[in-house]
A and B are shown apart, each in its own frame.
Chain A
Amino acid sequence: MSDRLPPSTPDPTRGATSAAAAAVPEGLALAYESGVELGERSQWTHARRRFFRHRLAVASLIVLVLIALVGVFAHQLAPYGYDEIDLDNTTRSPTLDDWHLFGTDQLGRDYLSRVIFGVRTSLWVAVFVALVSSALGTTVGALAGYYGGQVDNLLMRLTDLMLTLPGLAVLLTASVFLGSGDPLRIGLILAFLFWTAVARIVRGLFLSLREREFVEAAKAAGASDLRIIVRHMLPNCTGPIIVNTTLVVASAILVEAALSFLGFGIQPPNPALGKLISEGQSEGFSLWWLVTFPGLVIMVIALCVNFVGDGLRDALDPTQRRIRA
């Protein structure tokens, strides 16, 4: 679980005009002085520009999109079926012939195709986990930060609980005793582990936003609590939330792989990258390609997601800037 965003000043996005003026990003201030026409450029335009200046993040995004597309169109793109057995072509090492780029196993199943289908499930689970945990975490965090009191208390106690037990152990226990196997269930179990981190971040942001003048102004103008939370406060948290959602994708894909590898995650007949590695392991280490390629793909995905997350952090959250691109 990554919690690399300490609650601090939120990024100046739309909705907070007075706040935005106080913390004009460096590039924007220069633009003002040089008299460059700013016109209708929104904060999002600036964020996009900042992101696209981050070459590594853009390259990673392209790789990720390609991998995701391959996963989505697995049925059209994979040269063979997921479970297609070909006893004339067993245990072939990686070769260009017949598209066996990642080799075949003892039943002659093509590992490139298996990995493609595995990417499809694993990526789907990871994105699902990120979206569900962010939605849940944002809701709870916003309520806890805005109202304080009981909700806040409960959230912090839950966090204490989560911090006392190792996450992977809780996950393993949950998937054994709740039953595992299908991707949706694993996704839900994972989301339940990941949501507290987002909740804590949003809570922290809300605690400081709550005291700001524009919230006071909205209150004085008679806005309802719901309107204040949704229209005035949440837009100020979008940056950190988006960044964190991205990083959860990376953690989720690694944790899901570990679960499936240990046999407590996604089970056959559902394809999953972690499961492919454990199947490869059981065929012996002389067939090195069966273990190597699925893991390499997991690594590339996690790496790219992290780079994109870093780029997004620089773009959406200039106060958190860590690495100069």
Chain B
Amino acid sequence: MLSYVVRRLLYSVVVLVAASFLVFTFVSASGDPLAQLNIVPNLSEQSRQNIIDRKHLDDRIPVRYGYWVKDAVTNQFGTTLLGDRPILPDLWRVMKNTLQLVLIAEILAIAVAVGIGVYSARRQYSAFDYTATTLSFVGLATPVFWLALMLQVLIVQIYEQTGYRIFPIASLNSVDPGSGFDFVLDRAHHLVLPVIVLMVASVASYSRYVRASMLEVMGSDYLRTARAKGLSERRVTIKHAFRNALIPLVTLVALSFGNLLAGAIVTETVFSLDGMGLYFVNALLANDPYPVMAWLMVTATMIIVFNLIADIAYGLLDPRVRYE
């Protein structure tokens, strides 16, 4: 087990290094990073040269990659291209906000999806089952950013009709959020809409998996045995079917982590939340490869860790799995 984890981690490091080199080369080779300086008026040649010296832009790409790795490892991912602003503190701040949003959405989504999936499977081909299936199709076909906008439109329309503002439609906190419990309450109030938006796609896909996996388990022999020995239907569902049906969900949830971050990019942009997604979009808009690189590396690390946790959890839940 331990050797499996170590081997996986070592392999992940290789993948990360390969990914970082590819992304860096690709980003550096395409276009002049200082192009946008050309439109800045009254820029002295000296300050331009300072940036070039600081970021070693005169060197060849592999050399620049070396400097980048050195910065990333020893100097907290270095600084941004133009402002020379340290990257890691910013990234750290937005990461906390995003994890808060994503984890809340994900936990709620799993709870809702499990409920829907199990109930649909128990009542296969019922009206509830058909409604849930149809809605999950609709949920998967809805563009995330559009859903976010539609909720905002709805809130604004309600405000215009009744003068009542149900939920805030932007930012993570009010201007004056207060402290202690008031702060938490204020944050929760602001997170309601983004969480709903992030949940929809997850609930749609997870509930279908839970339903399918419940149906599969419910047709199995050991469930017939459980019924045959006279267990109550409730006990059969909860103790025998449900617990086994949930195992595949663990892998699915962990593998969806990347999708969640993609959802966060869009959601945070629409609701202007100070999270990783908005940070990434702003870095891209500034044409600054350094925060983009840092973001990609941090995200990739998180995804790798999540996948590893999923694999280990899967092994703990399903004793048939052996690590070799």
Contacts and interface: CB of A to CB of B under 8 A. Distances in A.
A265 B303 CA distance: 25
Contact of B26 (A177, A274, A281, A302): A177
Contact of B146 (A172, A264, A295): A295
A250 B141 contact: yes
B76 to A, nearest CB: 21
Interface stretch (A39-47, A67-75, A160-168, A220-228): A160-168
A291 interface: yes
A250 B160 CA distance: 35
B303 A169 contact: no
B144 interface: yes
A250 B144 CA distance: 14
A285 B141 contact: no
A307 B296 CA distance: 34
A173 B296 contact: yes
Contacts of A166: 258-259, 261-262, 299, 303
Contacts of A234: none
B300 interface: yes
A177 B289 CA distance: 9
Given A172-B265, A288-B153, A302-B141, A167 B258 contact: yes
Overall SS of chain A's interface: helix
Contacts of B22: 161
A121 to B, nearest CB: 16
A250 B138 CA distance: 12
B212 interface: yes
Q: In the complex, which of the residues B30, B258, B269 has the most CB atoms of chain A within 10 Å of its own CB atom? A: B258
B304 interface: yes
Interface stretch (A97-105, A135-143, A255-263): A255-263
Contacts of A257: 143, 145-146
Nearest to A304: B141
B185 interface: no
Contacts of A106: none
B153 A176 contact: no
- Interface size of A as a range: 35 or more
Contact of B141 (A167, A306, A323): A306
A176 B35 CA distance: 13
B254 to A, nearest CB: 11
Interface in A111-152: none
Interface string B286-312: 010100100110011001100100000
A173 B141 contact: no
A169 B140 contact: no
Contact of A264 (B31, B156, B284): B284
A184 to B, nearest CB: 17
Nearest to B281: A262
Given A262-B266, A285-B152, A176 B284 contact: yes
Contacts of B145: 257-258, 261-262, 274, 277
B31 A179 contact: yes
B27 interface: yes
Given A167-B262, A173-B27, 7 more contacts: A169-B262, A291-B149, A295-B143, A299-B142, A302-B143, A303-B137, A306-B141
Interface of B: 12, 15-16, 18-19, 22-23, 26-27, 30-31, 133, 137-138, 140-146, 149-150, 152-153, 156-157, 160, 212, 255, 258-259, 261-262, 265-266, 269, 280-281, 284-285, 287, 289, 292, 295-296, 299-300, 303-304, 307
Q: Please list the 4 inter-chain residue pairs (A to B) with the smallest Cβ-Cβ separation, ordered nearest first.
A: A295-B146, A168-B262, A302-B141, A303-B141
29 contacts: A157-B15, A161-B18, A164-B16, A164-B300, A164-B303, A166-B299, A168-B266, A169-B261, A172-B280, A174-B26, A250-B141, A257-B143, A258-B144, A258-B145, A258-B266, A262-B265, A262-B269, A262-B281, A274-B145, A285-B153, A288-B157, A295-B143, A295-B146, A295-B150, A302-B142, A303-B141, A306-B137, A306-B141, A322-B212
